[in-house]
């Protein structure tokens, strides 16, 4: 199969597109996932699902000798499961009582503080 190559429009002599031009001007459709990133994400999720019981044991074992270290590991792992919290500015009068309420949810269920990984 010897096909004759046709010159490509909108390219420089070196075969590159000029600045501001593209071979796909409309780009990838919005919401289309990157296939490689999706496969990597699926692999990581599978590995995490398979090792989750062991990770809980490791954190508990670490917590017996080094509670602070166990909390640091737990917090570092939580960053991958929970969305990052943003800072909120609260403006109130000096004599106004401010009460903070934090609710943790996993799988649609509310997690009660004190009944997490470290308990049991």
Does 120 score more than 50 pLDDT? no
pLDDT band at 114 (very low <50, low <70, confident <90, very high): low
Rounded to whole angstroms, the Cα distance separating 16 from 89 reads: 49
pLDDT tens for each residue of 47-98: 888 998 898 899 999 999 999 999 998 888 887 777 777 777 777 777 777 7
pTM above 0.75, yes or no: no
Does 21 score more than 80 pLDDT? no
Encode 11-40 in three state secondary structure.
Answer: CCCCCCCCCCCCCCCCCCCCCCCCHHHHHH
| Domain extents in the chain | 30-82
Mean pLDDT of the chain: 77
């Amino acid at each position: 199969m010897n096909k004759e190559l046709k010159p490509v429009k909108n390219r420089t002599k070196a075969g590159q597109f000029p600045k501001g031009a593209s071979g796909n001007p409309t780009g990838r459709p919005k919401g289309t996932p990157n296939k490689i990133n999706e496969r990597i994400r699926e692999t990581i999720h599978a590995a995490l699902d398979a090792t989750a019981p062991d990770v809980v044991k490791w954190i508990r074992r670490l917590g017996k000798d080094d509670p602070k270290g166990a909390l640091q590991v737990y917090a570092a792992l939580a960053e991958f499961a929970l969305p990052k919290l943003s800072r909120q500015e609260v403006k109130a009068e000096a004599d106004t009582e401010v009460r903070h309420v934090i609710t943790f949810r996993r799988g649609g269920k509310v997690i009660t503080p004190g009944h997490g990984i470290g308990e049991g």
